[in-house]
Structures are given as C-alpha cells and as structure tokens.
Amino acid sequence: MKLCILGGGLTGLSLAKSLVKKGLSVDIFLSKKNLDFDSSRTIGISNDNLIYFNKEILDIKKLLWDIKKIEIYSDNLKSEKILNFENNNKTLFAILRNYELQSKLLTSLKKEKLCKFRNNFNYQLSSFKNYGLIINCENNNYFSKKYFARRLKKKYDSFAYTTILKHKKITNNVASQIFTKNGPLAFLPISELKTSVVYSIKGKKKINLEELIKKYNTKYSIINFGTSNFFELKSSNLRTYYHKNILAFGDLLHRLHPLAGQGFNMTIRDIQDLSNLIDLKLKNGLEIDNSICEDFQNITRHKNYLFSSGIDFIYEFFNLETKMNNNIISKSVRLIGKNKFLNSTFKYIANRGFRI
C-alpha cells in the first residue's frame, strides 16, 4: 500500500515520518523550493504537541530551546505587561530553527526503506493511479490551483520580517510579544546567546528593521543581526479539504497570522487526527484510500476554522486599539489576564487547541 506526499517542507516531511513509522510506504515529491532553507525562520511548538512529535514522529529534544514564560506588552501601556503566562517554571513551549528541523527530518527519512524521494512528476491524475491516497502539502502546484482554490482569504496589508539576534549571554527563557503601532513584534529566545525576532509591519514600505528592533529592545545587549527575510501576511481557510483521493494538508488547509506562532501547531494536531484515522483503518484491515478524506474533513475543519478565526480576532482586537489611539483595550486585557481561570484557559487552548 503506497501513499504519496506532494511537498518536502516541514509539513510533508513530518507527516511522512509519521506514516513510515506505521509501516506504510511513502513517496515524497520534492520541489526546488523545499530545498531552499531560510536560516532566519523559527517555529514554536506547544508542550502538548512536543510530547506527541517526540514520541510519534521524531525525537527532536536536542534541537529545542524551552520557553518558561510569555510576556505581552502594548505600545500604549509603555513598559507595563498586559498579559503574563507561566506555569511554575515548567515549559510552555519550545523554539527551534526551521532549517534544523527540516534537515533532521530529511536525514532520518533518507534512511527509511519505506520512503522514496522523487523530484519530477506529471501533474495528471493518471500518473498517480498507483497511490491509494495523495496528500498535497503545497500551496502553488497544479492540484492546489485546480482543486483547492476555493477558500476564505484575508490580506493583512502587512509583511513579516524575520532575523536572528546575536547578543551577550543571558538567562533566556522568556518570550515576549509587543503590540506596537507598526504591528506585533515577537522576541523568541533560541539560546542563551541568540534570539529570533518576528516583526509584522503594516504596509509595503522600506524599513530599517535593525533600528525598529533596537527601539523596542530592553533586554538584549545586541552584538549583531543575522540575515533578514520577509514575506507577505495572509490568512486563509480552505472550504473543501479533498478532491477524490487528493487530501489537502498543512498551510494549504489553514494559513494564520504569525503573531501567536500557532501555524505549525495546528498542522501537528492535523497529523495526529489523520494518524488516528489511519490507525483505525489498519486495525480493521481496511485500505488507506479516499474514504479517509471525508472523515478527516469532518473531524478537523470546524476546529481549524474556529481556531484560526480566534487568532485573527486577537490581531484585529489590538489593531483596533492602534486605530483608536488609546489604551482602553490594553487595560481591559490586563484585567482579564489577572483572572486565574481565564489565564489558564488561554494557556490550555494555546497548548492543545480545541481538544477535550
């Protein structure tokens, strides 16, 4: 029984590793884009997802930097925290560099006899007749444009700029997010000497990223800035998750604003849901075919839409304060954050999504 994955990014490789561990044969079709590693990008993985990833996909403990506390600030309240999340010095989530995870997954999969990499292929469905299930993890290939174009879209008129700060050694386990007048700015520690920065800035304009970061930096004695990159910010939710035996997956299903760092976390939860469905099929001696696509859509689509809508609400909530040019919203959020039940609820959703 062979399965096919289109795309060799983090999503495709993580899913492939999960499937191979079940004893399934997987062919991965790579594009040139999959081999272009961006050294400035990092991802955060929640504690619950880390447990699953390390056990069911690949042990990545050596790549991780633990975050024990999250602090949220607003331009309108200057240096006052509006939200604070921690759990008795336990890990809330961990940060790692995209290219390190991608390299480790590639290395691991190349050793698997059940996994084969293919670089060129014909996008005609007849070329995939030997695959029971085709999982499409790419946004811009033929199948995506032909079968998965109907989606709810939103442009933020913003670009996310990423870089890595090298700084003097400090105890560095606190992540911070500042809702600035230009857009949300995140400082995400990756070691005692380095911190990842993601700054989502409104409008397409030339900026001095280093000066903007220095303006809001109150913690780090910066030695130098790494290479910076940027990408346009959009959100989207796919209306239909499959066509025949082609299942859309990853960013093709849901794309989020990066302010909460939840994009890959949603994907890991999707991998877990798909994995559970496949386990059920195998347990009952059934083929892995197009029937699993509808089951996956029914289980995940409503949760994904609700979660991504929540992230968009957070962005618009703080964006409204900028437009109003006052601090009423920040003060209100600070009061809400002091409520122990609500604070715990926010942490639970960030960790597990909408899972009971």
- Residue 287 belongs to domain with CATH number: 3.50.50.60
| Residue 295 to residue 206: CA distance in whole angstroms | 46
The answer to whether 178 and 79 are in contact (CB under 8 A) is: no
| Residue 235 to residue 258: CA distance in whole angstroms | 10
pTM greater than 0.75:
yes
| Residue 307 to residue 162: CA distance in whole angstroms | 24
Expressed as residue numbers, the domain containing 21 is: 2-352
What 331-336 contacts at long range (C-beta under 8 Å, 24+ apart), as own/partner pairs, is: 331/77, 331/82, 333/72, 333/82, 333/83, 334/77, 334/80, 334/81, 334/82, 334/83
Question: What is the length of the chain?
Answer: 356
Which has the closest alpha carbon to 255: 234, 226, 241? 234
Which has the closest alpha carbon to 330: 158, 85, 79? 79
Q: Per-residue confidence of the chain (356 residues) as pLDDT tens digits?
A: 689 999 989 999 999 999 999 999 999 998 766 566 677 899 999 999 999 999 999 999 999 999 999 998 887 666 667 778 888 888 889 999 999 999 999 999 999 999 999 876 656 666 778 888 999 999 888 889 899 999 999 988 889 999 999 999 999 999 999 888 888 899 999 999 999 999 998 886 678 889 999 999 989 999 999 999 998 899 999 999 999 999 999 999 999 888 777 889 999 999 999 999 999 999 998 888 889 999 999 999 999 999 888 888 878 777 776 666 656 555 556 555 566 655 676 565 666 665 65
Q: How many domains does the chain have?
A: 1
